[in-house]
Structure 1
């Protein structure tokens, strides 16, 4: 059984810390937030995590390959870890920025319900509410529905007014 060098163990712990920081960054925490509070600042959490992870694991690999038992070999392992860490930090920073700045569609609101076509899933009585299923932004949504006259199950409907975020006024289509 081979014993792991102390330097390798320390480098593996540093790499593990980088993985832990990246996991926290993916969960949206503001750990190690450097710079102005409203922006990432000069160093993003993703860059720190990428640097730590690549440095620790890269240095551990180099240390084991060299058999890092002397200070010179450990220094070479540190240099090898740094060579791996700089591009990894740059790439993590770029990918994090690309994910944050990705354009997305606006969140649908009740105004997006007006004009939607759908089907009655629970009969809509003349007084009271039934249920309809419509598509909003490509997603099926089930809503409470009122109408001026009774509408049976399976009838196609058209939303004429959004009474709230979960209820609409409909007419047959």
Structure 2
């Protein structure tokens, strides 16, 4: 007795394939939009409304994947069932587009600390890492905005390695005038 294996191939409905392509394209555009490329603007560049790129891309992605799921669950082969799949995709897409628009707006308008400048160096405490001679430069390490920064340093008197210093003046972006602390 010989058993024959029959190869079965799962056929994906054309509607499902189209919905999956729409969903994939939406997710791809959403990823690009969230990375800051902003390929298209559907409104004034300074305005962020319900038609932002993130909202449109989120809508397209959720619509495509939601409609594909409903289409497969219904086994949609008739126009009425495909219309039901479209409605199911829209039900998934509207809240997704709203969330994508809100989250992208929140990320764009997030408050951040100002970029530190040389004026933020004044008053910083630190340590001498290379001795400072009277007529030349040594090196100090200070913390600015929580980050360690190594700077060239001058002083009115020699300061040895390991001594604590106080920045009196910022001579440039990379050099300071210091005194012992």
Is the structural similarity TM-score above 0.5? Answer: yes
State the Cα deviation string for residues 103-156 of structure 1 (Å, max 9, x = none): 222221111110000111222222332221111122222222122222222111
Out of 50-59 and 37-46, give the one that drifted further: 37-46
Out of 145-154 and 77-86, give the one that drifted further: 145-154
- Counterpart of 2:4 in structure 1 is none
- Counterpart of 2:102 in structure 1 is 94
- Counterpart of 2:30 in structure 1 is 22
C-alpha distance in 2 between matches for 1:86 and 1:95: 14
Mind listing any 5+ residue stretches in structure 1 that lack a counterpart? none
Give TM-score scaled by structure 2 length: 0.89
- Counterpart of 2:17 in structure 1 is 9
CA offset at residue 63 of structure 1?
1.0
Out of 133-142 and 85-94, give the one that drifted further: 133-142
| Secondary structure class of the residue paired with 2:67 | helix
Give TM-score scaled by structure 1 length: 0.93
Out of 149-158 and 36-45, give the one that drifted further: 36-45
Matching of residues 103-122 of structure 1 within 5 Å? 103-122=111-130
- Counterpart of 1:131 in structure 2 is 139
Mind listing any 5+ residue stretches in structure 2 that lack a counterpart? 1-8
CA offset at residue 40 of structure 1?
2.8
1:164 to 160, 163, 172: 172
Moved over 4 A (4+): none
Number of residue pairs aligned between Structure 1 and Structure 2: 173
RMSD of aligned Cα (Å): 1.4
Decide which structure has the larger Cα Rg and report it: 2
CA offset at residue 28 of structure 1?
1.1
Conservation of the 8 A alpha-carbon contact between 1:34 and 1:40: no
